Structures are given as C-alpha cells and as structure tokens.
C-alpha cells in the first residue's frame, strides 16, 4: 500500500465518520420527536401559566412624561445647534 492509497482510505474514513455523525443526529431527533409524556406536558403548561398571568398584571402603561433628570445630565437635544 503506497501513500496515495493511505490518503484515500483516510479520506473515506473521515467522510464515513461524518455521515455517521449526521445519521446519529437524525436518529436521535426522530427518537425524541416521537412524543412526550402527556402528564409532563400538562405539568409544564400549569407551571408556565402563573408566570403569564403575573406578567400581564405587572405590565405598566408607558409613561408619557419624561422622568426627572439629575444636574449632571444634558438635554436630549444638546448636539443640535440653535439657529
């Protein structure tokens, strides 16, 4: 076996390993996508529901007035030149 044959065999090994990794990823995706436990789905929906209700309650309307500024803060349009 000469150098060219070793290079070809190593390239085949790399390509086949890559196909094997992609195949295993697809296999695991298909296995995990078959379905989840319905009890787990119900528990997850119940666990997330109070957070949604709390988020709706805690939403505050946007303030229409500008908040007070400190002495060291510039005006919002300080970069504009008058005139």
**Model pLDDT, residue 58:** 67
**Model pLDDT, residue 77:** 79
Instruction: Return the domain boundaries, the chain.
Output: 3-52
CA angle 78, 79, 81 (to 5 degrees): 95
CA angle 57, 61, 66 (to 5 degrees): 145
H or E, element range at 77: none
Nearest-angstrom CA–CA distance, 66 and 70: 12
Block means of pLDDT (10 residues each) for the chain, length 83 residues?
88 97 94 78 78 63 71 80 64
**Model pLDDT, residue 27:** 94
Which long-range contacts (C-beta less than 8 Å, at least 24 apart) are formed by 8-15?
none
**Model pLDDT, residue 23:** 97
């Amino acid at each position: 076996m000469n150098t060219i044959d070793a290079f070809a065999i190593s390239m085949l090994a790399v390509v086949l390993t890559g196909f094997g990794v992609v195949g295993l990823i697809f296999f695991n995706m298909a296995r995990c996508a078959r379905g989840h436990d319905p009890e787990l789905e119900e528990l997850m929906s119940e666990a997330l529901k109070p957070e949604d209700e709390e988020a709706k309650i805690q939403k505050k309307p946007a303030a229409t007035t500008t908040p007070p500024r400190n002495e060291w803060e510039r005006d919002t349009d300080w970069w504009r030149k008058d005139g």
